[in-house]
């Protein structure tokens, strides 16, 4: 299969935080943000493989800054690496106050998607060919992240080397 470049998988989405998206403090709810992150990263994965994809895993997500009612949420995603049937997608979230123009980095996460056929069975995807230094680093590190999530999911045997690969 012909490799694709990360930029060919780039997906962007902009949302406005409305009252129904917020908690009682008037801040965007984490669950709503994760829903949007899931959508933008699924679009990115589908742009890579041109197949139906399902979310297999979401790595650690933390919420660094609240995003307030009336602010804009800019989400961007791209595939960092593809394996056999699975793809790792990096998603980044920026909050923007349109009145002041201030932007803040709020959140990032790695999602894993699996391409499936009409029967829901995993199907092969093309490889990724990173171009920039940042893309190359994310591509290299993706293997350690994959091993860690498969270990945590009980799909591969626990191994301390996996942990040390991730931390180095």
Ligand X SMILES: CC(C)(COP(=O)(O)OP(=O)(O)OC[C@H]1O[C@@H](n2cnc3c(N)ncnc32)[C@H](O)[C@@H]1OP(=O)(O)O)[C@@H](O)C(=O)NCCC(=O)NCCS
Residues at the interface with ligand X (CB under 6 A): 54-57, 83-86, 112, 114, 116, 120, 122, 149-150, 153, 155
Report the C-alpha gap between 64 and 61 in whole angstroms: 10
Q: Report in angstroms how near the CB of residue 100 gets to ligand X at its nearest.
A: 37
CA distance 94 to 51: 28
Tokens of 41: 């990263």
Give the long-range contacts of residues 143-151, CB within 8 A, separation 24 or more: 143/81, 145/59, 145/88, 145/110, 146/81, 146/83, 146/86, 146/88, 146/112, 149/57, 149/59, 149/112
What are the angstrom distances between the C-alpha of 18 and each of 22, 91, 108?
Answer: 7, 22, 21
Q: How far is the CB of 37 from ligand X (least distance, A)?
A: 13
Nearer to ligand X, 17 or 34 (CB): 34
Q: Which is nearer to ligand X, 72 or 151 (CB)?
A: 151
Q: Where are the alpha helices (DSSP H) in 20-60?
A: 30-49
Q: How far is the CB of 130 from ligand X (least distance, A)?
A: 17
Nearer Cβ to ligand X (45/93): 45
CB of 42 to ligand X, least distance (A): 9
Decide whether 101 or 154 has the Cβ nearer to ligand X: 154
**CB neighbours (10 Å) of residue 1?**
9
Greatest CA separation for the chain: 52
Q: Measured from the CB atom, is 69 or 83 closer to ligand X?
A: 83
């Amino acid at each position: 299969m012909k490799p694709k470049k990360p930029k060919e998988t780039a997906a962007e989405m902009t949302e406005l935080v409305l009252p129904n998206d917020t908690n009682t403090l008037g801040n965007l709810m984490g669950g709503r943000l994760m829903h949007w992150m899931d959508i933008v990263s699924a679009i990115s994965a589908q742009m890579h493989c041109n197949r139906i994809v399902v979310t297999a895993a979401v790595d650690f997500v933390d919420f660094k800054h609240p995003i307030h009612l009336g602010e804009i949420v800019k989400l961007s995603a791209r595939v960092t690496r593809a394996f056999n049937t699975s793809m790792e997608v990096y998603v980044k979230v920026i909050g923007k106050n349109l009145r002041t123009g201030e932007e803040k980095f709020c959140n990032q996460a790695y999602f894993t998607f699996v391409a499936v056929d009409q029967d829901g069975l995993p199907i092969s995807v093309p490889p990724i060919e990173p171009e920039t230094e940042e893309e190359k680093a994310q591509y290299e590190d993706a293997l350690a992240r994959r091993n860690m999530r498969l270990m945590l999911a009980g799909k591969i045997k626990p191994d301390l080397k996996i942990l040390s690969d991730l931390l180095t």
